[in-house]
Structure 1
Amino acid sequence: MARPGWRFESTELLSAPLVAGGLVHVVGEDGHVHTLDAGSGRPRWRARRGEPKPNPYFPPLPPVLAGDTLAVTASLGGSGWADAVLGLAGADGADGAQRWTYPLVGTTVTGLAADDSAVVVTDRDSLTCLDPADGQVHWTVPPPTATGPWQASFDQPAVDDDHVYAIARFSRPNTALDGGYLIMAFDRSTGTEVWGVQVDGGWGATLTVGGDLVCVGDGKGWFIVLRRDTGDTAWSTQIRPKLGLPVQSGLFPFAAPTGAAAFAGEQVDRPVLAEQEIHVPSRNGDVHLMDRDTGEVQRVWRVGVPALSIAVSDDLLHVGGIHGLLVAFHRDRREVSWWRRLPVGRIDALTVADGMLYVGGERHLAAVDPATGAGAWRRFPARVHRSSYPPGSADRELTNADLPWA
């Protein structure tokens, strides 16, 4: 395997990377899809996805892979907004040739998901399941009917062997008012609604499916775990913000990995599910390790900046935040293995695959060694501290003053 240590940079924002089959696929707001060799970072091919849309806050939606078809959002109407989905030849040895186009009328794409036999698209008006081979519609359903001044729209799709999932958000048009959201599951074959769970939560809800669980985190600090088949609540908890702002968080909004602007505080982002545990990142500057069955908190790692992205590799937990902070904690104890600051504004996405840690941040994509942090920006080295926290801190809650990078 090639030594980690490459990086790819763009003039515009990049999506979170998709790593599969020895390739890294990333969508850029420069109007292109870029496919790189996962081991070396060398470009394999580049495909046009429509008009560029420079935007300082919102990265494009990441691509998804359905068999050997790579599905990406596209801007075909000239506005720069994602108003279509393209199916490209995306397997190893392919050149990104376009196979099909699924255009939208009067709306924009809000989410993509896929597995080997389906591409799922959400927009403000519908949830649609497509055939990945030719882009033909298997079925489509409208969002639920809202009462009074509220309007519902879909996003955050996911798919497994039995169901297609999505979040239906209730909002008041042309205002910032939030009416909560509905977590929904649909029959994969027909689109028939199977169950729905109403939540009086906040903006920024994310949906993650793993094993027999559906996990949702939102902008009011709620982390909700549902049974996949029935929608019954297994457990839920609310993660509160810390007093004051996290280290160097600032007062300006930054983009979330989901494409939404957010502030430091209560937002709970996408977890990582293990066999017995769930790692839950929060904008309050902590990552919680919770028992998968009960929700009991087993460990808390203090990061000190909003934890935007996490990944696990062997015995390490990797956390990315704003101001380019990248930290690797030991998973079995509250101790830092290494940390470094990268020359990016924020680290939106972390992925571990084939022994490498892929780091996505604003206009940058890089591969580093997950065990040491070595690679890519060598002038910004990883720092190893065998005793990163002060003596006597094992039995108390850490503060920002305890952190070596504060």
Structure 2
Amino acid sequence: MRISSKLVGVGVLALMTGCSSLPSLSSLNPFSKPKTEQPAALVELKGTMAVRTAWKLDIGKAGSTSFSPALAGNTVVVAGGDGDIARVDAASGKQLWRTKAGTELSAGVGTDGNLIVVGGAKGTVLAFDMDGNKLWTSQLSSEILSAPVVGQGIVVARSLDNRIVGLDAKTGEKKWTVQRTSPALTLRTSPGMLINGSDVIIAQPAGRLSSFILATGAPRWDLEVGVARGATELERVTDIGGAPVLFEGEVCAVSYQGRVGCFDAANGSVKWTRDLSSEVGVAVDQRFVFAPDDKGALFAFNRDTGSNAWKNDKLAFRRLSTPVSYGRAVAVGDYQGIVHFLSREDGSFLARAATDGSAVIGTPLVAGSHLIFQTQNGTVAAIAVE
């Protein structure tokens, strides 16, 4: 999520959540002078690739949290902060159903194609069937910012106090709980989770990535993506802000004030890492790992070696979203809801598309020939690449 310039008091949040969180990535030091960097102006673009908006849907504003669409077969499931959940046809945008959770939401969406799970603003996990019928609710210890995930009959949810819970997918009953410690300061972001066969891989505070056995919550491996540096707690903040990505047996991730890298998903061994600071996640394809840094530059790294393939810094300070790779392009949204399409080979601009004028949030989704983006104001936009 994007954040104001205030630093949340350590003592207050320690009482509330068990650790402190910083409400801002844009201005972490409250004693420093205000930043004067202006977002790069967009130059006129003569597009060399045809893109168009295939359909749009309003699901409700995200508020101060972040939501990502989820793919279920040939449909897309989306949720908004006001509590609306909808399932739409990915090709046409036709709404198959729409329901209300009965509470404000703070995280979503997770699905395995049989169950839909979201996080409620007051720490509840809510489960629905694929027709939108509510099945169960389970209460967690604190606020949920990360989208729950489903696999092997288990729903995994993580609360802000870094308590990870495995729930029975049929009943919502708690099967296991893992409590991990957090540093004195953490970023108020939505570190992601993903299912890897019989395991779940979870991004955690302090730049750590951990794998747990789904059935029991037993640890499989744990590693550092970002290595804390600096003399103060503020300088040592190195949380993973976006979702890790699984690709061909490797998991890739990036951290704030840390590193980007790829690791063996089975045992956590390091394949490669490079220094990078990012507030959002990565995109991965057969050849490249794409990651924007916190200054608005988009990098492409060779997936096999981690060597730098190219860098585009023409979107400086435009608060880039998690990118997505599709065909010959990599697409990334910005704070004005504009989606930029760049060549995956050299980073040159190919096309541009607008959404609703508010920031693109969460992790974009590939659904057939469409790329699905969700904005802070609640627009879900499907952009067709032709």
TM-score calculated relative to the size of structure 1: 0.69
Which residue of 2 is the match for residue 368 of structure 1?
Answer: 383
Which residue of 1 is the match for residue 84 of structure 2?
Answer: 32
Query: After the TM superposition, which segments of 4 or more aligned residues of structure 1 sit over 6 Å from their partners?
Result: 149-154
Change (3 A) 1:151 1:303: closer
**Unpaired segments ≥5 residues, structure 1:** 54-59, 75-80, 170-179, 240-265, 372-406
Cα offset, 1:295, TM superposition: 0.5
Larger Rg: 1
Cα offset, 1:42, TM superposition: 2.7
8 Å contact 1:4–1:356 — kept in the other structure? Answer: no
Which residue of 1 is the match for residue 144 of structure 2?
Answer: 109
Name which of 113, 123, 129 aligns with 2:166.
129
Distance (Å, rounded) in 1 between the aligned partners of 2:175 and 2:284: 30
**Mapped pair 1:62 → 2:108:** yes
Cα offset, 1:357, TM superposition: 1.9
Name which of 44, 54, 57 aligns with 1:8.
57
Distance (Å, rounded) in 2 between the aligned partners of 1:314 and 1:150: 40
Which residue of 2 is the match for residue 247 of structure 1?
Answer: none
Letter in 1 for 2:326: S
8 Å contact 2:126–2:136 — kept in the other structure? Answer: yes
What do the CA deviations read for 1:62-111 (whole angstroms, capped 9, x no partner)? 2111241111123xxxxxx2421111111xxx2x111222122x412232
**Mapped pair 1:213 → 2:250:** yes
Letter in 2 for 1:157: M
Name which of 330, 346, 359 aligns with 2:359.
346
What do the CA deviations read for 1:293-328 (whole angstroms, capped 9, x no partner)? 211011223341232131122111111111122111
Change (3 A) 1:268 1:28: closer
Name which of 280, 293, 315 aligns with 1:269.
280
Cα offset, 1:135, TM superposition: 2.3
What do the CA deviations read for 1:190-231 (whole angstroms, capped 9, x no partner)? 222222224325245334141322323122152132222222
Cα offset, 1:364, TM superposition: 0.9
8 Å contact 1:67–1:117 — kept in the other structure? Answer: no
8 Å contact 2:298–2:312 — kept in the other structure? Answer: yes
Which residue of 2 is the match for residue 48 of structure 1?
Answer: 100
Letter in 1 for 2:328: D
8 Å contact 1:286–1:306 — kept in the other structure? Answer: no
8 Å contact 2:245–2:283 — kept in the other structure? Answer: no
The DSSP-based 3-state class of the residue aligned with 1:224 is: strand
Q: Give the paired residue count.
A: 314
Name which of 112, 115, 126 aligns with 1:86.
126
Which structure carries more relative contact order (alpha carbon 8 Å, separation 6+)? 2
Which residue of 1 is the match for residue 292 of structure 2?
Answer: 281
Which residue of 1 is the match for residue 327 of structure 2?
Answer: 314
Which residue of 2 is the match for residue 192 of structure 1?
Answer: 218
Which residue of 1 is the match for residue 48 of structure 2?
Answer: none
Change (3 A) 1:37 1:267: same
Alpha-carbon RMSD: 2.8
Of 180-189 and 322-331, more deviation after overlay is shown by 180-189
8 Å contact 1:113–1:119 — kept in the other structure? Answer: yes
Distance (Å, rounded) in 1 between the aligned partners of 2:69 and 2:186: 32
Change (3 A) 1:39 1:189: same
Cα offset, 1:155, TM superposition: 5.1
Distance (Å, rounded) in 2 between the aligned partners of 1:195 and 1:5: 42
Change (3 A) 1:323 1:45: same
Change (3 A) 1:11 1:332: closer
8 Å contact 2:263–2:269 — kept in the other structure? Answer: yes
Name which of 71, 85, 92 aligns with 2:117.
71
Change (3 A) 1:38 1:189: same
8 Å contact 1:107–1:125 — kept in the other structure? Answer: no
8 Å contact 1:277–1:290 — kept in the other structure? Answer: yes
The DSSP-based 3-state class of the residue aligned with 1:110 is: coil
TM-score calculated relative to the size of structure 2: 0.73
Distance (Å, rounded) in 2 between the aligned partners of 1:370 and 1:61: 28
Distance (Å, rounded) in 1 between the aligned partners of 2:197 and 2:117: 19
Cα offset, 1:141, TM superposition: 1.6
Cα offset, 1:134, TM superposition: 2.7
Distance (Å, rounded) in 1 between the aligned partners of 2:216 and 2:154: 12
The DSSP-based 3-state class of the residue aligned with 2:360 is: coil
Letter in 1 for 2:208: L
Mapping of residues 250-265 of structure 1, within 5 Å = none
Letter in 1 for 2:145: T
Letter in 2 for 1:307: L
